[in-house]
Structure 1
Amino acid sequence: MSSNKGSAYGKPAGDTDFRKKYDLDEYAAKAAKREEDEKEERKARYEAKIAGKKYYKPLTGDETETVARNATQDFSKLVGTSTLVPAGSGVGKKGRGAGFYCEACDLTFKDNKQFVEHTNSMQHQRATGHTGSVRKATAEEVRQRIDTLWERMQANKRENVVSLKERLEVRKEEEDKEREEKRRKRKELEERKRAEKEKELKIKTEYGDDVRVEGEHDEEDMMAALGFTGFGSSKK
């Protein structure tokens, strides 16, 4: 009996049939290009340092003009939260670490002020595909911008007025409930005292004034138990 160790498709399976094949020449060319770019960048950084200037990545021609941010960053949402950071993930500002991370520049900042200053820097602008220069707005664009800001301010005022009015109404309802609860307790106390008084009068009416009502002569009984039968005058 002969054993067939071939593949299920009718031909023997080799060791490299299911492995991904790489073009070594292509990867070697990419590595050489990367090394050349890094060498030129190091040279440019050194020349900028010698000249007392700060190095920025050269423009490629695909950048757009810098525009104002249309979204605000609410850092208050991060108060009381925690973030897990892998050990050794960041060294200094480089890499993702504990703090505010800029993915475009691969930098981490310890406080929000440094992070905001970084987002306004030329380094971040170049990394995000902006030239760093701002286009001069026309008079019509300025008027439209003023109208937009004015409408936004009026909307915020209306919202604040509504919110204040709602808060005052809620507070008024709470005060009314508190007053009603006090009136109810006071009324219950008065009714209980009136019922006790009526019960006392009814008992005395039926049995006479000599009948001792519960709690009526507690103070006199206590003084008698202590030996104080009365306080007479020494004058004769």
Structure 2
Amino acid sequence: MDKAGAYGTKAADTDFRKKWDKEEYAERAQKKDEEERERMQENEERLKQGKRPRKGKKTDLPKPTQLMKQRDAPLELDKNLNKTMVVQNPGGRGPGQPGFFCQTCDRTYKDSIGYLDHINSRAHLRALGQTTKVERSTLAQVQARIALLREKTKEAASAKAFDFDQRLAEVKAKELALREQKKAEKKAEKEKARLALIQDTGDEDVEMAQLMGFGGFGSSKK
């Protein structure tokens, strides 16, 4: 009698296991061997010509057609800092792995330093069709840039002065409100003391209290 396995099937039944396509993997291995054979033949020719052999697969990069350009969007290297994320593609290649993924070169880097070095490298720029040379600015471009920076500096100075005046007005208003509050509290304490004294001494001691100087409490005189 066959015993039931942990997956609800017979112990001798192995249909739940992953099936491998032997023909597909044999075809992949054959293709890889052919590529390696071609690379070795190419390296032999390069050695005969006095050139260094290639270490890996040759990648046909487009010829650069433009100079190096400034990045328009921020890199946002710290956007996922101190966050918990679910790894969607832990064993494969491409996006979804932990780290920084370069869509252009289809590579993932484990830290921001490696990713930053890559996007500034010659290989990445070649993949974008750019060279490592920077465009030389003209006189008109330099003048326009200086005018823009001056305008930004002027706006920042105006905003700073406005903030200072507003802050000073807020401090003065707060001090005035605090003085008025203390004045009202002091007046209330005097009035409370006067009423307590009148209640304790009675009507007969009112004149004595006035002679002692308590009669002026609660006066409307300003």
For this structure pair, what is the TM-score category when the shorter chain's length is used for normalisation? 0.5 to 0.7
Segments of 4+ moved more than 6 angstroms: 34-37, 44-48, 52-56
Kindly report which structure 2 residues correspond to 1:154-173, keeping only aligned pairs within 5 A, or say none: 154-173=150-169
Give the Cα separation in 1 of the matches to 2:99 and 2:77.
11
Whether 1:85 aligns to 2:87 is yes
Aligned residue in 2 for 1:119: 119
For the Cα contact (< 8 Å) 1:105–1:127, is it kept in 2?
A: yes
**1:104 match: secondary structure:** coil
* Backbone CA RMSD of aligned residues: 4.3
User: Match of 1:85, as an amino acid?
Assistant: V
For the Cα contact (< 8 Å) 2:67–2:132, is it kept in 1?
A: yes
Kindly report which structure 2 residues correspond to 1:77-226, keeping only aligned pairs within 5 A, or say none: 77-90=79-92, 96-130=96-130, 132-134=131-133, 137=136, 141-200=137-196, 202-203=198-199, 204=201, 206-208=203-205
User: Match of 1:64, as an amino acid?
Assistant: T
Shift of 1:79: 3.7
Shift of 1:122: 1.4
Go from structure 1 to structure 2 and tell me whether the alpha carbon gap of 1:72 and 1:177 turns closer, same or farther (over 3 Å shift).
Answer: same
Give the TM-score normalised by the residue count of structure 2.
Answer: 0.56
Give the Cα separation in 1 of the matches to 2:155 and 2:91.
45
| Structure with larger Rg | 1
Unaligned runs of 5+ in 2: 1-27, 209-222
Q: State the Cα deviation string for residues 32-63 of structure 1 (Å, max 9, x = none).
A: xx989966985568969x827887744555x4
User: Match of 1:151, as an amino acid?
Assistant: A
Go from structure 1 to structure 2 and tell me whether the alpha carbon gap of 1:97 and 1:117 turns closer, same or farther (over 3 Å shift).
Answer: same
Aligned residue in 1 for 2:19: none
For the Cα contact (< 8 Å) 1:118–1:124, is it kept in 2?
A: yes
Give the TM-score normalised by the residue count of structure 1.
Answer: 0.54
Aligned residue in 1 for 2:72: 71
Q: State the Cα deviation string for residues 137-194 of structure 1 (Å, max 9, x = none).
A: 3xxx431332233133223312322332243234324323431332132012111122
Unaligned runs of 5+ in 1: 1-30, 212-236
Larger mean Cα displacement after TM superposition, 168-177 or 188-197: 168-177
Shift of 1:97: 2.0
* Percent identity between the two aligned chains: 18
For the Cα contact (< 8 Å) 1:89–1:95, is it kept in 2?
A: no
For the Cα contact (< 8 Å) 1:89–1:96, is it kept in 2?
A: no
Give the Cα separation in 2 of the matches to 1:41 and 1:123.
23
